[in-house]
Structure 1
Amino acid sequence: YDSFKLASPSGKGIIKVLSNNVQELADRTFQQPNYKKGQDWFDNYHTYEDIKKWYINHSKKDPSHVKFVASIGKTDQSNDIFAVHLTNNNTLPYGRSKSKIWFQSLIHAREWLGGSTTHNSDGYKYTQIERYWRKNRKSPHGVDINRNFPYKWGGPGASEDPYEIDYRGPSAGSELETKAITSYFKEQGHIAGAIDFHTFSELVLRPPGDKGDTPDEAKLKKLGDEIRDVIVKSRGTLYTSQKSYELYSTSGTAMDWFYGEGNTYGYTIELSPKYGGEEGFSPPPIFIKPVGAELYPAAVHFINQKGKLLPFKPI
C-alpha cells in the first residue's frame, strides 16, 4: 500500500484497498475444487477432470437430450477441449434443422464462477497452483485467448508484450484453443446467438470492443437490454447493458468474432460480484447457486429468441 502511495502523485489518483490479504483469498479458493460424494454439485467448484466426468455421466443417463463431445481440439499440454450439446427432442419436419445457441466459459482461467465448460483447460488446471492465472499455458508466458480471435486482432486493449496479462499472441487465431473454438463453431452451421461468460462486474456487453457503433446496434442493444431486465427481475441484481468499449477497449475477443465473423448476436456477460478487486475472481462457493439463479432465466430467454435471431449481413 505504501509503495502505491509513493507511486501516485498527490492529487492525481485515489487509492482504495479492496483486499488486505490477497493470499488469504487465494488460499480460500485453492481448496474449493474438492467435490465430496453426496454433496450437491453446485455447492462447490470442481476440477477439470470432475467437470468432464459430470457431463459424461449426464450424457449416458439422458442421451436423447445431452451429447458429450470428448474433444474438439487439444491444448498445448494435450488436454481435451470438450463440448456439450443440449437439446429437446427434434419434432421438426425432416430436413429442417433447429436454431442453435452457443454458450462458452472459462476462457480466462481464473474466472471459476463462470465455468461450465473449460475452454482454457491448461490455464484452469494451473489455477490450482497459481490462483489468479488468466492466460493459457503456451510457453513461455501464455496468451490471452480472449485477445487472440481472428477478427480485428491486434487493435486496442490487447498487448503485444508476452509478459502482459492481455497478450494477444504472435498472430491472429494462433492458439490451439482459438482454432478449436472457431473451427467447431463454424462446423455447426449458422448459430443464432452466442454468449461468452466471464467474471466479474455485472455487465451485459455487446459489440464492438473498440469505438463506434456496429451497423446492428439497435438489434444488439434491444436483446442485451432484455437479458439485463430478465436478470434484474429474477433476483434484483442490477446488471448494466452497454457497448463493450464503454468499459474499456478490447480487440480480438470472442464476442466480436461471434458478431463479425459468425454474423450472429454475440455478447459477453460479466457475472457477479459488481466490485471486489482480486476477490471478484475468487468468490466463495456460496455464490454459485445465487448467481446461477439470476443467470438461468436470462439464458432461457436468450435461447427462446433463437428463432427470431436472423443472421446479420457480413461486415
Structure 2
Amino acid sequence: MRLCIAVFVLLVAVHCEELFNGDQVLRIHAESKDHIQVLKELEKDSGLDFWTHGFSTERPVDVRVPHASLYAVKDFLKENNISFSVMINNVQELLDRERAEMVSNTEMERNTKSFNFAAYHDLDTIYSFMDTLVASHSNLISKVKIGSTYENRPMYVLKFSTGGENKPAIWIDAGIHAREWVSHASAVWIADRIATDFKENRALARNVLSKMDIYLMIVANPDGYVFSHLTVRPFHRLWRKSRSVTSNPNCPGVDLNRNFDAEFSGPGASDDPCAEDYRGPSAHSEIEVTNIADFILSHGNFKSFMTLHAYSQLLMYPYGYTGSNAPDQPDLHDVATQANKALNSWHGTIYKVGSIFHTIEQASGASVDWAYQHGIKYCFAFELRDTGEYGFLLPADQIVSTARETWFALRYIMQYVSDHPY
C-alpha cells in the first residue's frame, strides 16, 4: 500500500500546476475498521484533497482526485474492497461555470450600479457592500474593526444595535474556511435581511434587537478568501486555511478552526503543516483567531455563538473534541431541532442535528467548543448546502435559497436566546 500511496503523491505533485480538467470528486464508503485504517493512511500520505473528513462506517468521505491519479486511486480502492461513487465528474467544468458567472455578474453590477445577492463576490466588493449597508442604516449598524490579518488586511464585524451599553449579544461568523463561499454569500444576504426587517418594523427583528446586539462577521479569514479568488491557478479556489508562514515553506496556512484554545492539539487536528486541518504551532498562534477571541472576551456578554460553514447540511453544537455530552446538551439539542424545523419549512431542505463529534467528525481546537468553554451557552455550527452534488462549488443560483433557509434557523435561535436569558 505504501508504494501505491507514493505513486499518488508523485502524480498529485505533477498535476497541481495544471487545470482541474477531468478531476473527479469521489464519495468513498468505509464498511469496516480495516477500511477506515486504509483511508486514514490514504489521507495522511497521498496528498489528495479530502473535501470532507472524519472516517466512519456511518458516513462517507468526499475526495477530489486529480485526473492523472484517477485510475490508480480507483484501482487502489477496488483492491481494498472499498466502495465509491462519482459525485462530481469534472471539477473544472464547475470552476469554469462559476468564473463565467462572476465575470458576467461584475459587468451587470457595474452597469446597473446594484448589488446582486445571487452572486459570489470578492473581498473588496463585500467590504464595499458593508460600507453601503452601514451608510444606509446608520441608526442601526456600525462597522467595527477587530484587528488585522497576517497579511495586514482589516477584519470587520457589523454591529447591529439599537443602543445601550454592553447589552447581551449574539455572535455570527462566516468564512473561517476560505473555499466555503456560500457561507460568505449567505452572511451578506443575512446582513441585509436583518437591516431590512428592522427598517420595515418586523416584529422579530425589533424584539430581538430591543434586548440584544448582533455582531456579524462576514469574512473570518480574509487572507484565505482573497487567495481563493486568485485566478493565476485554479487550485487557489479550493484553498481552506489562512496564509501565514509555517515551519514548512512549501505549505503555508493554518486551519483557523483548529487553532482555538479548546483542547488544542488533541485528536481531530493535524500537526502537519501540509495538512488541510493543520492546527498551527500553538493555540491562538494565528492573529485572526486571537483577534476574534480577544474581541469576544473583551465584550464579555455574548449569549450565543454561531458559525457558518459548508458543506453537508448539518446543524451542530458542542462538543467537537470529545464524544461526551456537553452539560447543556439536552437544551442545545432541543433548540437545534426546532431551528432545523424552521430551516426545513422554507424549501424542505433536510439537515442533520447533533454534536460535532457525533455528526461530522472529531475536531479539537474548534471555535464552537472554545466559545462554549468560555461560558457562551448557545453555541452552534452550521454546515450549509449541499450534500455533495456540487460541494464547495455550489452554483450561485442557490445562494439566496440557502441564505433564506439559514436565516429561518438563525432567527429561531436568536429569538429563543432573547427569550431565555441566563
With the length of structure 2 as denominator, give the TM-score of the two structures: 0.69
- Aligned with residue 219 of structure 2, among 102, 110, 118: 118
Are residues 1:127 and 2:228 paired? yes
User: Tell me, which stretches of 5 or more residues in structure 1 are unaligned?
Assistant: none
Question: Cα deviation per residue 1:22-77 (whole Å; 9 max; x = unaligned)?
Answer: 122223334527532334421211110111111111111211111112x2111111
Question: Cα deviation per residue 1:216-265 (whole Å; 9 max; x = unaligned)?
Answer: 11111111111111111222111111111112111101111111124321
**Aligned partners of 1:67 and 1:84 also within 8 Å:** yes
**Aligned partners of 1:81 and 1:119 also within 8 Å:** yes
Alignment partner, residue 288 of structure 1: 399
Alignment partner, residue 297 of structure 1: 408
Moved more, 161-170 or 47-56: 47-56
**Aligned partners of 2:167 and 2:301 also within 8 Å:** no
Question: Cα deviation per residue 1:185-208 (whole Å; 9 max; x = unaligned)?
Answer: 112222111111000111101111
Alignment partner, residue 275 of structure 1: 388
Alignment partner, residue 174 of structure 1: 285
Moved more, 249-258 or 8-17: 8-17
Q: Matched residues, percent identical?
A: 30
Alignment of structure 1 residues 1-315 onto 2, 5 Å: 1-10=70-79, 12-31=81-100, 32=102, 35=106, 36-37=109-110, 38=112, 39-69=114-144, 71-87=145-161, 89-90=162-163, 97-115=166-184, 116=187, 117-129=218-230, 130-139=236-245, 140=249, 141-209=252-320, 210-246=322-358, 247-276=360-389, 279-311=390-422
**Aligned partners of 2:316 and 2:336 also within 8 Å:** yes
Larger Rg: 2
Change beyond 3 A, Cα 1:30–1:245: same
**RMSD of the alignment, in Å?**
1.7
Question: 1:268 corresponds to which letter in structure 2?
Answer: A
- Structure 1 residue 18: deviation in Å? 1.4
Ranges of 4+ aligned residues in structure 1 off by more than 3 Å? 308-311
Question: 1:134 corresponds to which letter in structure 2?
Answer: R
Query: 2:275 and 2:419 mapped to 1: Cα distance?
Result: 40
Question: 1:55 corresponds to which letter in structure 2?
Answer: M
**Aligned partners of 2:343 and 2:408 also within 8 Å:** yes
Query: 1:212 and 1:75 mapped to 2: Cα distance?
Result: 34
Moved more, 31-40 or 285-294: 31-40
Query: 2:134 and 2:78 mapped to 1: Cα distance?
Result: 58
Moved more, 149-158 or 11-20: 11-20
**Aligned partners of 2:313 and 2:387 also within 8 Å:** yes
Higher relative contact order by CA 8 Å / sep ≥ 6: 1 or 2? 1
Query: 2:294 and 2:371 mapped to 1: Cα distance?
Result: 12
**Aligned partners of 1:200 and 1:275 also within 8 Å:** yes
Query: 2:280 and 2:375 mapped to 1: Cα distance?
Result: 21
SS in structure 1 at match of 2:85: coil
Question: 1:303 corresponds to which letter in structure 2?
Answer: M
Moved more, 5-14 or 48-57: 5-14
Question: Cα deviation per residue 1:159-199 (whole Å; 9 max; x = unaligned)?
Answer: 00000000000001110100011011112222111111000
SS in structure 2 at match of 1:28: helix
SS in structure 2 at match of 1:103: strand
Question: 2:331 corresponds to which letter in structure 1?
Answer: K
